[in-house]
A and B are shown apart, each in its own frame.
Chain A
């Protein structure tokens, strides 16, 4: 007699995604959907989708979702949480959305200690617009706008958002995880669940989980190679682990 031990969770809508083969967004969506189902908070969760590849996240997660202006999810989340303190508010943002155009919003939401949960997907490149350099692009990384590789003299250094936010007294939990292997995916799920738990308990401050995610299309490698590259190169610049809380 065979028993089902793993299947698609109900909060993840039963439809195909528009993501490229091997994209990390699909894994991250599934983790969030599983956590919402495990905590049984589907009826009172509101998610905020970013501008970027994950702009259509509201088509895949079966919870109330809002699409806001580029980089502004923490600002909108602030309003939603302050007017509806019983709701669970999370924002799902990419590195272009959070670290570039939305740098001021995330910094000040953390600075004010808003009780929101932020899932920050960092793939070190702008995916939706065609693989241009992002603030989190690593030194010597080749992108559409840095064909010779990013140089510190011309384009500056990769922005380490988690380290930056961990210095603020308003943040309570900052952790950096990766989607590079089955074990790391399990750790990522645990971290995001902890961030949701903190908000459920009414902990005073912002929680953020940075997820290092592969972008095989604009790293120009196969999905398997992208996972290896993430594990070997990206985690050196963005060390994994709990930075705060």
Chain B
């Protein structure tokens, strides 16, 4: 796990755009509704790379992205203007 996202589920409206753009399919819709009656997105985080695509498309701006900055992570492809994400992976 090289990355992690934190979703403010009480403010999530369950639009599901983050789920569509997640390249690792590590976000799911929760089975429990929040106080506003929406079924929020829930981070799985098991194979999150911290690319930040979900945070960029989130209309409510409630996703915080964290990334491992220790030595065992390397950036394989730097983010480009037209790319969906920057690819990172764990060093062997």
Contacts and interface: CB of A to CB of B under 8 A. Distances in A.
Given A1-B70, A6-B52, A16-B11, A182 B21 contact: yes
Interface string A18-51: 0111111111011000000000000000000000
A183 B60 contact: no
Nearest 8 A-B pairs (CB), nearest first? A26-B59, A22-B15, A21-B13, A21-B15, A6-B65, A223-B15, A2-B66, A3-B69
B15 A2 contact: no
Contacts of A22: 13, 15-17, 59
Size category of the A interface is: 35 or more
Interface in A178-230: 181-183, 185-187, 190, 216, 222-224, 227
A223 B59 CA distance: 11
A23 B13 CA distance: 10
Interface in A42-101: none
Given A30-B61, A182-B21, A186-B82, 17 more contacts: A2-B66, A2-B68, A3-B69, A5-B66, A7-B65, A8-B64, A9-B61, A16-B60, A21-B15, A21-B38, A26-B59, A181-B84, A182-B56, A183-B84, A185-B56, A187-B82, A223-B16
Interface of B: 4, 11, 13-17, 20-21, 38, 50, 52-53, 55-70, 81-85
Please indicate which of the listed interface residues B53, B61, B83 has the most CB atoms of chain A within 10 Å of its own CB. Answer: B61
Contacts of B52: 5-6
Nearest to A9: B61
Contacts of A8: 61-62, 64
A183 B82 contact: yes
Contacts of A118: none
Nearest to B64: A7
Contacts of A4: 64-66
B79 to A, nearest CB: 9
A227 B4 contact: no
Interface string A158-190: 000000000000000000000001110111001
19 contacts: A1-B70, A3-B66, A4-B64, A5-B50, A5-B52, A5-B65, A6-B55, A8-B61, A9-B61, A16-B11, A21-B59, A22-B16, A22-B59, A181-B57, A182-B84, A185-B56, A185-B57, A224-B16, A227-B17
